[in-house]
């Protein structure tokens, strides 16, 4: 069965500091990986996705993530945090072996300290 682990349910960074949100997955076949962001009282919005090809993926709002097969990881980073980055972030995974389902992590709440 698929699983997604997001280490750290809460992460705080200072404005201008590096943002690093961790995601590890379990999959016996090549995965498709996603990061979503959720602002308060809103639905989820896609930040970036990895399907095939280049393992470093760039997304919206300056975020990027790197697929590392050897570490089964897909960590999300941003070089310099902005106050507007404060939100909940979800990692999700799917692959052809899971049929037609997406699996989400439990989320990481990012706080940006001025």
Partner 1 sequence: NAGVTQTPKFQVLKTGQSMTLQCAQDMNHEYMSWYRQDPGMGLRLIHYSVGAGITDQGEVPNGYNVSRSTTEDFPLRLLSAAPSQTSVYFCASSYRSPGLAGGPGEQYFGPGTRLTVT
> Which CB sits closer to partner 1, 8 or 16?
8
Give min distance, CB of 73 to partner 1, in A.
18
Give min distance, CB of 78 to partner 1, in A.
20
**CA 109 to each of CA 12, 26, 68, 86, 89: distance values in angstroms, whole numbers, following the listed order:** 8, 22, 23, 8, 6
Instruction: Please tell me the distance from the alpha carbon of residue 9 to that of residue 74, in angstroms, as a whole number.
Output: 16
What is the distance, to the nearest Å, from the Cα of residue 9 to the centroid of all Cα atoms in its chain? 12
Name the nearest CA neighbour of 55 among 46, 36, 68.
68
> Which CB sits closer to partner 1, 80 or 102?
102
Q: Which residues contribute to the site for partner 1 (CB under 8 A)?
A: 4, 9, 32, 34, 36, 41-46, 49, 51-52, 90, 92, 94-96, 98-107
> Which CB sits closer to partner 1, 45 or 111?
45
> Which CB sits closer to partner 1, 42 or 61?
42
Instruction: Please tell me the distance from the alpha carbon of residue 100 to that of residue 70, in angstroms, as a whole number.
Output: 25
Give min distance, CB of 30 to partner 1, in A.
9
């Amino acid at each position: 069965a698929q699983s997604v682990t997001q280490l750290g349910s809460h992460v705080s960074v200072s404005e201008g500091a590096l943002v690093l949100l961790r995601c590890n997955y379990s999959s016996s076949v090549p995965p498709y990986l996603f990061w979503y962001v959720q602002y308060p009282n809103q639905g989820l919005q896609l930040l970036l996705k990895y399907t095939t090809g280049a393992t470093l993926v760039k997304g919206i709002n300056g975020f990027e993530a790197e697929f590392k097969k050897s570490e089964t990881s897909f960590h999300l980073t941003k070089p310099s945090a902005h106050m507007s980055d404060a939100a909940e972030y979800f990692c999700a995974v799917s692959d052809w072996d899971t049929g037609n389902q997406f699996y989400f992590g439990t989320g990481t709440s990012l706080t940006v300290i001025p």
